[in-house]
Structure 1
Amino acid sequence: MAPFDDWNKLDDDEEEELQDSSLYEGKRDVILFCIDCSPSMLELYEDPRFEDVQTCKLLTALEAAMQVQKRKVLVGPNDAVGIMLFNTTKRNENDEAGADLKKGTYVYQPIATVDAPKVVELMQLLDEARENPEKLAEMFPPMPDKKRVPVGDVFTSCNWVIRDGAPKTATKRIFFITDEDNPHPGAASSRLIASARTTLIDLVQAGVTVEPFFISTEEKPFDPSIFYSSVLLATNLADEDGLGEDGEGQILPESISIGQIDELLSQMRFHEVPKRALFSVPFTLAPDFTIGVKGYGLITEQKRGAYRYFADLGDRMEVVGSRTAYVDEEQETEAEKAQILFGMDLGAPSAEVEEEGGDEHKEAGAGTRSVPLGSRVFYTPDEVRSFRTLGLEPGIKLLGFKGRKELAFEDNIKHSVFIYPDEMTYSGSKRTFTALLRTMIKKKKIAIVLALTRRNSSPIFCAVLPQEEKVDESGWREPPGFHLIPLPFADDIRSAPIEKGFRASDELKEAARKWIDKLVVKNGSYPPDSYPNPALAYHNAQLEASAFREEFDSEAFEDLTEPKYDMIHKRAGQLIKAWKQAVHEDETANIVAAPVAGTKRKADVSVDEAEIRSKWEAGALNKLRVDQLKDFLKSKGEPVSGKKAELIERVSDWLQNHP
């Protein structure tokens, strides 16, 4: 019988939101770089990377935008990027995009799908700016006399640019880059703060996320609490009613205070990939008591981009659009999806049934069981879907609570999903979610739920593990929320054989602990975004050089995952040598386990055609074994059922018909 998954797969085109890996590949990402163009951003200083070259913060911000676009050409060819400058007197012409924007804002690159020519144009501008440091100030003159565009007008212009250029279903984000922590000093500050916050709320309701990048230097440190803490929306789960009118107590949404301008690009890499929800479903806590939640995958493997087919049209290359069509063989017409039914393949018949059926089974084809017309069961796509989902709709249903100690380590057999409240689907979800989270943490409880996160998946039982917010000196590090952990069924866990090995002595453990403590990662955390996959990075570097007509230098490629051996030897070299010496002197470490007896390999029973033909000519086919005869018949596409005499006759017939 065919496996269940072979015929129980459906193409669910109706539910774009409840997809897993396909969502990351199919949904477009839109990034609008909103860069401050004030005199402080254009102030020149010595470039630390090149000798006798001057640079400015605006140049570095544009370079970061260029680097993001270069990577998007490879890993996100369907994504779109735009660049808008504010606090500049340059205006868009009447026939250009962005001509009707607020005064003081200028669209350098309208939002459009990333392509190589636009990136090359930006690269040429940066090269000219390095040769002529005044180039950017001439192209984008700043506003005089410390005049600044209201931040509310900047957000309004961003909203218009995204509205005109971004698809409705795309993930829309604004990278807000500035070095001014107090853009509106004076008596009008409170009014401008309220205006900026109102405009930002309009952006959020339109599905746009603002990710700020605050540039801070030793000469001019950036203090977000002066202005932006009162403007940008909070991301913590605290009740908003408890905040003051000035917004004190809020936590900026992943705000970055960059100590050095050179860190802008490295910090931007953390935010380059959008945080897309894997699913958005209702969370039923009790009958007629539901909140909305979104699920996020914390671990995702980054892979090479899918290849594409291109058609050469002479003057240009166009991407070939592909689709799958099912054709009715009898009518030779394309079958509609509604007409397609699902059924199960039946296994090969037994030898006894084949003997009784005679030529009927041969006509039906070897290895297939013939079924009378009308006796085979078929199912519609909706029926097959109901088999998977058991008739349930996507959602999470609370079943009860257990003590936190009831959740064992071996119960976590799959990656968990982090869920967070979704205020846009159910009003009050944030407060209810927060109250449940705090109570479960206080009482040290976990929840047991029944979860169906996608329409084309099966319901599973999950444990809901609460996570408390962790804040360090630099700001919050781990957000509050729940981990949705799929629980295993009884047949998902296999009992491992209990074997006891030799345990290291306390002296060996202490010797190992000494050099391990010397090699601990700073802050006790490992940032995976700082260490990209070297094979994937090398592949992308080659594609990038090919796309931009550059020469690829393999020796210039840097593998960031390669250990720093000199530093390791400097920090813990002597401690490692002492530990190795202690291991050699320990008796239990030098005991070699007895080798496990290997299993015998199955004898090779295959024989070639020449040998079988020679035995046939000598009349000695009966000296061959049954398995040898069956292997020969199977290789020739002949039936292999029956007794040895029948097999010999079938082999003789084939050899006679194929001299």
Structure 2
Amino acid sequence: HAYDKKNFLTTTNFFNQKYLKNKTKYIFFLMDDTFGFENDFDEQNEDQFNSFATGSLRDSTLFLVDCSSSMFAKAQSEDKTLFEKCMKAIQNMYQQKIYGSDKDFLGIVFFGTEQNNTSEDFPHIYTLQDLDQPSAERIKEIEKFSLNFDFKNFRQDYGNSNDFSLDKVFWWCSNMFSSITQKLDTRRIMLFTRRDHPHENDKTLEKLAKNKSKDLYDIGIILEVVPVVLEGEKFDYSKFYADALMLSEEDIKILPDPAENFEELEKTVRSKDHKRRPYTHLNLEFDSNLSISCSVFNLVRECAKPSKIKLDKKTNVETKTVTRRFNPDTGEILFASDTKLALDIFGKRIAFEQDEIKSIKRFGNPGLKLIGFKDLKTIKPYMYVKPGHFLYPDEKLIEGSTTLFRALLDKCLEKEKYALCEMITRVNTPSRLVALYPQQEQIEEKTQIVPPGFHVLFLPFADDIRQIDRVVETRKNPEVVELFTKCINKLKFKYSPENFKNPALQKLWFEIEAIALAREETEHVEDLTLPDFSRIEKRAGPFLDQIISELRLPDRPAQAKTKRKTDESGGVLIKKNKNDEDLDVVSEAKAGRLGKQTVAKLKEFMKEQKIVAKGSKKDDLIREINAYLGLS
């Protein structure tokens, strides 16, 4: 609120009479004019708020590895057995957890072994690692199986056996989860196996295993099967795992290709693992008598470097920071009751009680209040203030929220309107104006690609918009404008943030990994944010030379004009993006090696070239690509 000088002086006199003439002596600490609001929008405090809102929850994953004789086969073109590839994939997931979510619990259990370290009631089961947080020592233990693997030593230490019972295996995994005293958000078992019908010759064991898998589902343990097969092999879920996992025929059809699924697991992803949990829960109030409950999610947030920890130089023990306040005149230690917060305005020092500070910062209860509706076209790019949220109905708190939320979404999409609301995320947070921007659900091949809901876009206040009166007039050269237009069109590409890793973070993770695992060299970090001069020269080189000539600019450096190899696409125009450096689909197709590429990469190529897919199987995609390139 804005006050005139008379009102301000009246307020100042009131505070002087109430506080400054009081006989009690206080030490005043000056506040800035934000009244402590600067921390309310600090994204770095978001983790603390999330842990407060959702509780200190952790995910837990138990890797269950089949060690029967069939897992130690290997393809003719490969050096590693299926078992070694499984352990390498598990090692990568351990490393990914260290980067992304080091508080989660991971464990490894072998089954189908001759030896066991559990008990007589659970034969042919060997617990390699109990459920615990990932560490460098645990990763080094896994490396013994993924690097320089010796099958003779494995048979001597663990052995192989086909006389296991999945019923007992699932039972043992359930016991391991029960032994964890911390509160777990999710409990998951990832089963690596080559056998699609483990108890083919024993119907009793098959029935017991299916019943036990359903018991796992009832107590909230998620069972996932990762098929590990040789090239050309099929994994038939219908023989056993369709019943164990309670999968319908439609579910089986949309399951990913086993080779593609396992190939993704073999990749090490060094990135922060953001939990898919709501940022907070808020009620959307239409009026005083009608409201629905919604969950608020963060779609984008900056991935910062991990916080530094200060250690004692001699003992390596983590130090603690203690802050104490002293009276500058007497050196006496001050307690909270001896201090007050004050603000200097026009030479006057105004002191505040804690209750008054809280009342100044409080604008209402957390929630969303509907103000009205406006046209979608009134949202302008310059109105961007900060990353927004995503709103989704929450049926658990208020029954019927989903129905009303869906009706509101459909009408906003139909009328091309957005809902203007006042938003207070939590207590002592200033209210903000937000736009609930509707999003239509998108489904491809019976899979949801884009969820329905509202994007919560923060809108600026009048104080946030700068008024720029001075407009510089420039002379327009139509020929240069046309050249720039052609140049821009040539340099356009489909941008996706998922294709660009933060090079600073990647380098940090590589260095930490090398130190923790005692490696002499670190992996090379490829910086994809740097411009690709070869592509720029190939696509827009002539236009850039013409622009330089028209504007009489200095010549470009010689490195930008290096010669490039001619396109080998046989006259077919192929669009490429930055991810295609290691994959030339055209040359792979000519060499007849498309079968070794993943379905995801083939689909991405077809999407870039606008090739219509007539099927979802890999064979169908290969057939369409070959036909497009004239190779069929």
Query: What residue in structure 2 maps to residue 446 of structure 1?
Result: 418
Q: Is the 8 A contact 1:36 1:85 kept in 2?
A: yes
Relative to 1, partners in 2 of residues 1:79 and 1:340: Cα closer, same or farther, differing over 3 Å? farther
How far apart, in 1, do the equivalents of 2:48 and 2:143 lie?
33
Range with bigger deviation, 427-436 or 451-460: 427-436
Which residue, 355, 363, 387 being the options, matches 2:360? 387
Relative to 1, partners in 2 of residues 1:581 and 1:409: Cα closer, same or farther, differing over 3 Å? same
Gaps of 5+ in 2: 1-29, 555-632
Range with bigger deviation, 281-290 or 458-467: 281-290
How far apart, in 2, do the equivalents of 1:481 and 1:443 lie?
16
Relative to 1, partners in 2 of residues 1:449 and 1:89: Cα closer, same or farther, differing over 3 Å? farther
Q: How does 1:55-454 map onto structure 2 within 5 Å?
A: 55-70=80-95, 72-73=97-98, 79-85=103-109, 87-89=111-113, 93=117, 107-127=127-147, 130-133=148-151, 144=162, 149=166, 154=170, 160-165=175-180, 167-168=182-183, 172=186, 174=188, 176=190, 178=192, 196=213, 199-200=216-217, 202-203=219-220, 218-221=231-234, 246=248, 259=260, 261-266=262-267, 272-311=273-312, 317-324=316-323, 332=332, 335=335, 339=337, 342-346=340-344, 349=347, 376-380=350-354, 382-390=355-363, 392-454=364-426
Structure 1 counterpart of 2:422, one-letter code: L
Relative to 1, partners in 2 of residues 1:327 and 1:485: Cα closer, same or farther, differing over 3 Å? same
How far apart, in 1, do the equivalents of 2:546 and 2:436 lie?
45
Deviation string, structure 1 residues 229-288 (Cα, Å, up to 9, x no partner): 99879xxxxxxxxxxx95958999x98965164431337667844334322333334545
Gaps of 5+ in 1: 234-244, 350-368, 593-659
Larger radius of gyration: 1
How far apart, in 2, do the equivalents of 1:251 and 1:289 lie?
43
Q: Is the 8 A contact 2:75 2:231 kept in 1?
A: no
Which residue, 567, 572, 583 being the options, matches 2:547? 583
Q: Alpha-carbon deviation of 1:547?
A: 2.3
Relative to 1, partners in 2 of residues 1:516 and 1:226: Cα closer, same or farther, differing over 3 Å? farther
Structure 1 counterpart of 2:190, one-letter code: F
Q: Alpha-carbon deviation of 1:320?
A: 2.9
Deviation string, structure 1 residues 50-81 (Cα, Å, up to 9, x no partner): xxx732344333323333434555665x5133
Structure 1 counterpart of 2:105, one-letter code: V
Query: What residue in structure 1 maps to residue 61 of structure 2?
Result: 32
1:20 maps to 2:46? yes
RMSD: 4.9
Q: Is the 8 A contact 1:229 1:251 kept in 2?
A: no
Q: Is the 8 A contact 2:439 2:455 kept in 1?
A: yes
TM-score, normalisation: structure 1: 0.63
Query: What residue in structure 2 maps to residue 626 of structure 1?
Result: none
Name the SS for the 1:310 alignment partner.
coil
Seq. identity, %: 18
Which residue, 14, 27, 32 being the options, matches 1:3? 32
Relative to 1, partners in 2 of residues 1:417 and 1:80: Cα closer, same or farther, differing over 3 Å? same
Name the SS for the 1:319 alignment partner.
coil
1:486 maps to 2:500? no
1:508 maps to 2:483? yes
Q: Is the 8 A contact 1:217 1:259 kept in 2?
A: no
Relative to 1, partners in 2 of residues 1:251 and 1:493: Cα closer, same or farther, differing over 3 Å? farther
Q: How does 1:610-625 map onto structure 2 within 5 Å?
A: none
Q: Is the 8 A contact 1:80 1:111 kept in 2?
A: no
Structure 1 counterpart of 2:412, one-letter code: M
Relative to 1, partners in 2 of residues 1:19 and 1:290: Cα closer, same or farther, differing over 3 Å? farther
Which residue, 559, 566, 580 being the options, matches 2:526? 559
Deviation string, structure 1 residues 5-27 (Cα, Å, up to 9, x no partner): 36567899xxxx99614457995
Name the SS for the 2:448 alignment partner.
strand
Relative to 1, partners in 2 of residues 1:104 and 1:478: Cα closer, same or farther, differing over 3 Å? farther
Structure 2 counterpart of 1:118, one-letter code: R
Name the SS for the 2:352 alignment partner.
coil
How far apart, in 2, do the equivalents of 1:201 and 1:292 lie?
27
Q: Is the 8 A contact 2:98 2:135 kept in 1?
A: yes
Q: Is the 8 A contact 1:70 1:119 kept in 2?
A: yes
Name the SS for the 2:429 alignment partner.
coil
Q: Alpha-carbon deviation of 1:460?
A: 0.9
How far apart, in 1, do the equivalents of 2:239 and 2:422 lie?
46
Structure 2 counterpart of 1:80, one-letter code: D
Q: Is the 8 A contact 1:35 1:61 kept in 2?
A: no
How far apart, in 2, do the equivalents of 1:93 and 1:444 lie?
64
Q: Alpha-carbon deviation of 1:177?
A: 5.1
Query: What residue in structure 2 maps to residue 537 of structure 1?
Result: 506
Q: Is the 8 A contact 1:285 1:397 kept in 2?
A: yes
How far apart, in 1, do the equivalents of 2:85 and 2:508 lie?
26
Q: Alpha-carbon deviation of 1:222?
A: 5.8
Q: Is the 8 A contact 2:311 2:318 kept in 1?
A: yes
Query: What residue in structure 1 maps to residue 438 of structure 2?
Result: 466
Structure 1 counterpart of 2:61, one-letter code: L
Q: Alpha-carbon deviation of 1:436?
A: 3.4
